[in-house]
């Protein structure tokens, strides 16, 4: 693991310390997890943007989605969608049913 010095605005620092004290989780762990989550969101957004740009670029060309294939896919998904099954709760008195 590498170390990284990160100056924070005083308000951010104070909030981080307060959350750390309240949750009893070290501030470094909270900060690391927040940064990791932000980076994951950035990667997801970049991937989404790249796919959207490609779709826009190839729209109406031979590389666009085949309408017949798309329709067949939709029909298949609708036909094979499984309804949730239910099981009885462990309490014999309860008649409420919960998803498995």
94 is a domain residue: yes
* CA-to-CA separations, 15 to 7, 18, 24, 57, 61, in angstroms, rounded: 14, 5, 14, 45, 52
CB-based contacts of 8, cutoff 8 Å, min separation 6: 16
Residue with tokens 């298949």: 76
Expressed as residue numbers, the domain containing 90 is 10-99
| pLDDT tens digits, one per residue of 9-44 | 999 999 999 999 999 999 999 999 999 999 999 999
Which residues are within 8 A (CB) of 96 and not within 5 positions of it... i.e. 6 or more apart?
Answer: 89
Confidence of residue 92 (pLDDT cuts 50, 70, 90): low
User: pTM higher than 0.75 for the full model?
Assistant: no
Query: How many structural domains is the chain composed of?
Result: 1
Does residue 48 form part of some domain? yes
Is residue 24 in a domain?
yes
Whether 33 is covered by a domain: the verdict is yes
In a domain, 2, yes or no: no
């Amino acid at each position: 693991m590498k170390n990284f010095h990160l100056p924070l605005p005083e308000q951010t620092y104070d909030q981080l310390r307060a959350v750390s004290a309240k949750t009893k989780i070290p501030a470094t762990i909270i900060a690391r997890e927040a940064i990791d989550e932000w980076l994951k969101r950035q990667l997801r957004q970049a991937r989404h943007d790249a796919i959207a740009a490609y779709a826009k670029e190839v729209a109406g060309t031979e590389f666009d989605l085949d309408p017949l294939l798309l329709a067949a896919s939709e029909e298949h998904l609708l036909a094979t969608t499984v309804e949730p099954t239910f099981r009885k709760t462990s309490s014999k008195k309860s008649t409420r049913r919960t998803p498995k």
